[in-house]
């Protein structure tokens, strides 16, 4: 905890951290509601009685956007404010710019949620960022992206101002990570813009959105991974009292991975934006550039944990940050391993990425408990806080393994209800395990939301 409690933060920065954390966690409420509908729509014996079957694709679009795009970037908003203040030992470049970024992002998210609830437009299941074909949904996405852009710009300017003063010449590892994470998001946004400029206007609408978000969507996965690594490092420093890797090799690993994102905008000038070559190159960037550094940090954390156990003799399994750290590594690694066994197009694909995004989510969940004291809020010291990472981690593991098992027997992806053709025991068993795991994971997510939002909604404790 010393990394937070030994550093002072001014009231305005504290309010911004509070705002971004409240915003990020609140999005999970609606993501969880839509996830519940989706999990039940694929669970044997329940799928046929849902009265909202025609609404499920709209629920899928809204769930994915909230849980895989907005939740991740909103929590990274917390980390960007921390990087621009505590970890660069200074103040934000511009408070009005910071608040403008927050209000644009949160306002856009509200519009997206309303679009999903009201089922405006037709759902298109484009990879990485699915959409509802309605002006309100597009407006919400653009507002959210604009707010993130302003937040990153302000963070980078803050870091530059703070580390170029006479007193602050060293760039801390956390500031370094979140700095390149911001740059990666800017590269992803540039890919979206270039795709928009280069795509033929008469293209089929499904193909249009698939190609619009394909390249930038791949690059956003780098930012999610960097954010997770940042959380791993912070949790290791808080719980184990040591960083899993010295700063220099850590920065080198991250720089190498970051280097794979740099050519991305150039692809739009050298390849046909709707061709297979463009598609394949973005896939290669993610395969080669993202896995190795994440694996290196995961191994480093495991070694640090072993060293901690040798010294202390007992691991702190009752601390939510520690169990979240362990399950985050397990889920992310499992998702990576499953990706190596994907053949064809079936639900083995979503089982892989649910493992990866589950790992990112758990790392952010675990870190949230240690941000509360920075905001003068009490950390929940209850049984539910202690078991919450277990609920989410075990539930998500059952979810992805059940889905993968069913996928090995041909259950197609992006299908629901009777269209899944669960016509044998293995398919039924796999999807049943998936549904059971999904329920446990949703319970874990709901518990997390309560554990964080209740302290945030209470009055500030006396110092």
Q: How far does Cα 444 stand from its chain's mean position?
A: 16
- Percent over 90 (pLDDT), the chain: 57
Phi-psi label, residue 313: left if phi above 0, alpha if psi -120 to 50, beta otherwise: left
* Residue 393 within any structural domain of the chain: yes
What average pLDDT score do residues 33-57 get? 64
**Who has greater pLDDT, 305 or 56?**
305
Q: What is the pLDDT of residue 412?
A: 67
CA-based R_g, the chain, Å: 21
The percentage of residues in the chain with a pLDDT greater than 70, rounded to a whole number, is 88
Residue 22 belongs to a domain:
no
316's enclosing H/E stretch is none
Look up the domain containing 422 and give its range. 316-458
| Whole-Å CA distances, 75 to 16, 36, 70, 78, 79 | 12, 22, 8, 5, 7
| 160's tokens | 């530059």
- Predicted confidence band at 51 (pLDDT cuts at 50, 70, 90)? very low
Buried b (16+ CB within 10 A) or exposed e, 187-217: bbbbbbebbeebbeeeeeeeebbbbbbbbbb
- 173-209 pLDDT, tens digit per residue, is 999 999 999 999 999 999 999 999 999 988 899 999 9
Looking at per-residue confidence, does 463 or 54 come out higher?
Answer: 54
Determine the pLDDT at residue 344.
64
Q: Is residue 128 part of a domain?
A: no
pLDDT at 9 over 90: no
- How many structural domains are present in the chain? 1
CA separation for the pair 240, 102 (Å, rounded): 33
Domain assignment present for 341: yes
Q: Is residue 285 part of a domain?
A: no
Q: How confident is the model at residue 169 (pLDDT cuts 50, 70, 90)?
A: low
Residue 418: its pLDDT value, please? 54
Model confidence, pTM: 0.92
User: Band of the pLDDT at 259, cuts 50, 70, 90?
Assistant: very high
CA separation (Å) from 445 to 30, 96, 309, 435?
11, 33, 29, 15
pLDDT score, position 380: 78
Tell me if 379 is assigned to some domain. yes
The contacts of residue 12 (CB under 8 Å, 6+ apart) are 92, 95
Which pLDDT band, with edges at 50, 70 and 90, does 34 fall under? confident
Residue 382: CB atoms within 10 Å: 12
In a domain, 416, yes or no: yes
In a domain, 68, yes or no: no
Distance CA 401, CA 352 (A): 9
Instruction: Please provide residue 134's backbone torsions phi and psi, each rounded to the nearest 5 degrees.
Output: -145, 140
pLDDT(458) > 90: no
In this prediction, residue 69 carries a pLDDT of 95
């Amino acid at each position: 905890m010393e990394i937070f409690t030994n550093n002072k933060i001014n009231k305005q920065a504290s309010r911004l951290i509070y705002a971004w954390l409240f915003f990020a966690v609140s999005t999970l409420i609606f993501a969880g509601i839509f996830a519940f509908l989706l999990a039940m729509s694929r669970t044997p014996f329940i799928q046929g009685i849902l009265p909202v079957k025609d609404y499920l694709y709209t629920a899928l679009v809204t769930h994915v956007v909230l849980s895989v795009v907005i939740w991740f970037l909103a929590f990274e908003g917390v980390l960007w404010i921390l990087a621009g203040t505590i970890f660069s030992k200074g103040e934000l470049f511009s408070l009005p710019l910071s608040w403008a970024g927050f209000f644009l992002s949160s306002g856009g998210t509200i519009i997206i949620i309303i679009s999903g609830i009201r089922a405006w437009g037709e759902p298109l299941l484009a990879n990485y960022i699915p959409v509802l074909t309605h002006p309100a949904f597009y407006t919400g996405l653009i507002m959210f992206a604009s707010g993130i852009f302003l937040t990153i710009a302000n963070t980078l300017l803050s870091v530059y101002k703070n580390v170029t003063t006479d007193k602050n010449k060293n760039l801390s590892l956390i500031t370094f990570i979140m700095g390149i994470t911001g740059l990666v998001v800017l590269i992803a946004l540039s890919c979206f813009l270039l795709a928009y400029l280069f795509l033929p206007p008469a293209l089929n609408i499904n193909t249009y959105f698939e190609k619009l978000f394909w390249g930038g969507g791949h690059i956003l996965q780098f930012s999610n991974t960097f954010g997770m690594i940042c959380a791993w490092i912070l949790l290791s420093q808080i719980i184990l009292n040591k960083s899993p890797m010295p700063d220099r090799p850590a920065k080198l690993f991250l720089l190498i991975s970051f280097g794979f994102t740099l050519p991305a905008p150039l692809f739009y000038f050298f390849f046909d934006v709707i061709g297979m070559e463009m598609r394949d190159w973005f896939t290669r960037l993610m395969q080669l550039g993202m896995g190795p550094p994440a694996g290196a940090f995961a191994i480093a954390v495991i070694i640090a944990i072993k060293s901690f156990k040798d010294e202390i003799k007992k691991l702190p399994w009752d601390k939510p940050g520690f169990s979240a750290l362990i399950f985050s590594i397990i889920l992310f690694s499992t998702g990576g391993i499953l990706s190596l066994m994907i053949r064809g197009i079936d639900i083995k694909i979503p089982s892989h990425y649910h493992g990866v995004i589950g790992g990112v989510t758990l790392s952010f969940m675990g870190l949230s408990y240690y941000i509360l004291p920075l905001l003068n809020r009490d950390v929940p010291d209850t049984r539910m806080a202690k078991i919450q990472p277990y609920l989410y981690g075990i539930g998500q593991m059952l979810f992805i393994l059940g889905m993968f098992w069913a996928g090995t027997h041909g259950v197609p992806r992006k299908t629901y209800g009777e269209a899944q053709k669960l016509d044998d025991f293995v398919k039924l068993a796999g999807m049943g395990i998936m549904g059971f795991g999904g329920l446990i994971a949703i319970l874990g997510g709901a518990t997390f939301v309560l554990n964080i939002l209740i302290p945030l909604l209470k009055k500030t404790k006396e110092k």
